[in-house]
Copies of this chain bind each other. A is one copy, B any other.
Amino acid sequence: MQAPRKPPRRSASQRNNNGQRQRAGVTPAREDVERQFLDAAERLLLRVGYAGITTRKLAEEAGLNHGLVHYYFGSMQELLLQVLERFTDRLIERQEEMYAAPGPFLDKWRAAMRYLDEDEESGYSKVWYELQAMGWNDPEIRKRVANVDRAWFKVITKALDKAMDEYGLDRTQFPLEAVVTLVGTFNEGITLQRLSGIRSGHSALLKAIDRWLEELEIRKRQRKRTQ
C-alpha cells in the first residue's frame, strides 16, 4: 500500500457492465473469486497489517493471478473498502443478534465478554483495528468506520437502556449516554491493549463488573419475589 501513481479507476463493477446485469446477477463464479480475494485480504490484515498488503501478495495469498485484482476491483483501495463493508456488516449483525436475544442482561454481558476473548483469539480484533488504522489516513474508510461505531453505539444503547430498567439503576447518577460511552470505550481500550500484548488488570476489571452485575441480578429476583 502506497500512494497510487495515477488515480485508480472508479471500480471494476462499473467497467464490466457492458450490458451485463449489475450486482443483482453476478455469476456465482465471480462472487466466489471476489470472496476469495476478500478472505485473503482479511488474512493478510491479520498477518502483516494493511501496510503490507500489495496486489501481488494478495493474489498469492488467494492463490489467484495478480491481474485479477485489477480486473475485479479496479484498485486496491476499492478492494479494501469492500473488505471493510463485508466485515462490518457481520460485526453489527452479530452484536444486534446478541443483545436482542431473550434472557437477563447478565447473560448477554457475559456473552459479550466472551466475544472479547474469542475475537482476539480468532484475529477478528486485529482485522477490525487494522481497518480502523487505515481509516486514520483515509477519509473514505474513516467515514465507514465511524458509521459502524455509531451503529454499535446504538445497539449498546438499546441494550443498556433495557438493562438499567431491568436492574433499576438510577439514571441521574448513571446517565444512559455516559454509561454507554464508558462501556463502549473501555471495550475498545481493552482490545487495543491486547493487540499490544497488554493484559494486566483486565481480568480484575471484568471480574469486578461481573460481580456487580451478579449482585444486581440477585436483587432483581428478590424484588420480584417480594412483590
Residues of chain A touching chain B, judged by Cβ–Cβ distance below 8 Å, are 1-3, 48-52, 54, 126, 129-130, 132-133, 135-137, 142-143, 145-146, 149-150, 153, 173-175, 177-178, 180-182, 184-190, 192-193, 195-198, 200-202, 204-205, 207-209, 212
Contact = CB atoms under 8 A, between A and B. Distances in A.
A51 B114 CA distance: 33
B202 A52 contact: no
A189 to B, nearest CB: 3
B177 A184 contact: no
A197 B150 CA distance: 11
7 contacts: A50-B51, A142-B197, A145-B196, A150-B198, A181-B202, A185-B205, A189-B192
A2 B129 contact: no
Nearest to A215: B173
Contacts of A188: 185, 188-189, 192-193
Contact of A51 (B126, B137, B143, B145): B137
Contact of A200 (B2, B54, B153, B208): B153
B204 A181 contact: yes
A200 B152 CA distance: 12
Contact of A198 (B49, B146, B195, B198): B146
Contacts of A207: 178
Contacts of A145: 196
A137 B182 CA distance: 28
Contacts of A186: 182, 185-186, 189
A198 B201 CA distance: 26
A184 B126 CA distance: 20
Given A2-B51, A2-B52, A129-B136, A177 B205 contact: yes
A92 to B, nearest CB: 15
B196 A136 contact: yes
A132 B189 CA distance: 13
Contacts of A133: 49, 129-130, 133, 136
A213 to B, nearest CB: 13
A146 B184 CA distance: 22
